[in-house]
Amino acid sequence: MKQIKKSILGLALTLFFLPTLGMAEHIWMGLFSKDTPYTEQTFVAKKHLNNLNDEIEKEWANGFMITDIEYGYDMWMATLSKGTGYTNQVYLKNRDWKKFQASIGGHLDDGFTLINVEYGKGTWVAILVKGSAYREGRYDVVRYWEDFPKKVRQRWKEGYHLIDVEAADGKWVAVFVKNTGFTDQAYNSVDNWEVLDIVIKRRWDNGYRLLNSEYGDGRWFAIFVKDKNRKGETYVRRERLSGFKKSIVEHWKKGFNLIDLSEGR
């Protein structure tokens, strides 16, 4: 697939809260795009992390790399892709936060870039890679939502962009990188799916694309960016995992790639 062209022209912040329209049922959400370098994908889901580990090891042996990992509704899920450009990848997991941080720090010092942090069943998980276009990856942790926007604004001023968020275990964890190619970035935090659906469509109308969505601390969090990759973005929501898996296969057949997984209400 055509490689993504990258340029940085500036950035902007738009944060707003919208009224509640009612609680949705439990849902799986998948974000798909035709503008990726991926040449092939696979998807695995297991109730236990050790079983997911076994599946990941098998797919690594087949030349796939993890591009997203998610925990939700008593299920661990991972998307793995070929054509990522990654030259190496590590998959860290630890129940102890301090040991988890130490492990991430060691790999960052060794030249890896952090791209994904996830939490489930008392375990923290991180994906780090070499060979990414992203540079100078880092993460920040705050205890309270009120401190989160301040931290994001600080990193934006330093030339970073936000690529992943995880709200769990009394923490808000934000992953930042440089050299993204984004010309603008914004995010929204809303309290249910119905509002998120409205927000996504509004952002699309204003030239943004959805980069990442997460559910935690009772709210949906969505990251939006502007760049040259607007071709064929779409998303699906399903209440059953079986239907969600079927939707993934249907979109693969149409030439889409799965770029983000999320689960919430």
Whether residue 16 is contained in a domain is answered as no
Q: What is the pTM of this model?
A: 0.87
Q: Within 10 Å of residue 73's Cβ, how many Cβ atoms?
A: 14
Check residue 230 and give its pLDDT: 65
Whether residue 4 is contained in a domain is answered as no
Check residue 231 and give its pLDDT: 66
Cα of 247 vs its chain's centroid, Å: 19
Whether residue 22 is contained in a domain is answered as no
Whether residue 90 is contained in a domain is answered as yes
Check residue 232 and give its pLDDT: 82
Whether residue 254 is contained in a domain is answered as yes
Kindly give the parts of the chain with pLDDT less than 50. Answer: 1-24
Check residue 19 and give its pLDDT: 33
Whether residue 111 is contained in a domain is answered as yes
Whether residue 8 is contained in a domain is answered as no
Residues 6+ apart with CB under 8 A from 136: 160, 177, 178, 179
Whether residue 128 is contained in a domain is answered as yes
d(CA 89, CA 57) in angstroms, rounded, equals 12
- Split into its structural domains, the chain has a count of 1
Check residue 73 and give its pLDDT: 86
Check residue 250 and give its pLDDT: 96
Domain span including residue 138? 27-264
Check residue 26 and give its pLDDT: 80
